[in-house]
Amino acid sequence: MKLEGISGKTVVITGAAGGIGSEIVESFINHGAKVVAVDRQEEALQRLKQGRSHVYPFCIDISDAKAVEGLVDTVETSIGSIDILVNVAGILHVAPVDALTKEVWDQTFAVNSTGLFLVSQSVSKRMKVRKQGSIVTVSSNAGRMPRMSMAAYAASKAAATMFTKCLGLELASYHIRCNIVSPGSTETDMLRKLWTDDNGAEQSINGTPEAYRVGIPLRKLGQAKDVANVVLFVASDNAGQMTMEDVCVDGGATLGV
């Protein structure tokens, strides 16, 4: 199926240097978009650029309101009107609630929730004037299912999901669509850091009964490309009647809940 409304568009992608983010960057490039790649990892951003004229790297902290506004203003005036925003940036700290520090809690929400708010607010203001646009938030299936030792991450992702739905409701009359893509266990560095031995992948697939975590019914880990494919679709004009939807890409791990 040919995806409409991607080629020639200006796309801003936060968290662009991560495992899922970089795959989303590649997907949009391959469909002819101009990609503004935003991340804090400068070296990784430069690798994404690799001399390609349609990739514009920006190394900023999305929890910094002034930096975000400066970024969006620069893109709008120097690169092009932002047609699509993909919020991918996220961090994960694993610890039981009684071991969570306020610093970790604040840091998690600063990136996963506040950063999302700042970028979405700044971009959507411009989109409203033009009465068109598409915003996609990459959240997590942890935002809809309790996870032991992941309270900060899960809560911040639940906030990200509901914020995007509320934003979508407010922007619907401006013909701006806002959707969520929620991955489950996806084979990236973030997931690998959770593994304690060489059986990490198998444990993720089988589940952890003592932690009340079911396995993956499809019996395989997700790949970054699986997520990127769905993001690309919901961002495109092919999904023109979709807004405020949360599409879960987790091999059935949340049992469709």
Long-range contacts of 90-97 (CB under 8 A, 24+ apart): 90/15, 90/18, 90/138, 90/140, 90/156, 90/157, 92/150, 92/153, 92/190, 92/193, 93/152, 93/153, 94/149, 94/150, 94/153, 94/194, 95/149, 95/152, 96/148, 96/149, 96/151, 97/151
Whether pLDDT at 100 is above 90: yes
* Higher pLDDT among residues 127 and 213, named by residue: 127
Mean pLDDT (the chain) is: 94
d(CA 44, CA 231): 21
* pLDDT higher than threshold 70 for residue 196: no
Q: Please confirm, yes or no, whether 56 is among the known catalytic residues.
A: no
DSSP string covering 51-75, please? Answer: T-TTEEEEE--TT-HHHHHHHHHHH
Task: Give the pLDDT score at 219.
Answer: 92
For the chain, the domains span 10-249
Q: Quote the pLDDT of residue 129.
A: 98
Element (H, E) at 178: strand 176-183
The answer on pLDDT for 43 being more than 60 is yes
Give me the CATH topology for the region 10-249.
Rossmann fold (3.40.50)
Whether the pLDDT of residue 99 is over 60: the answer is yes
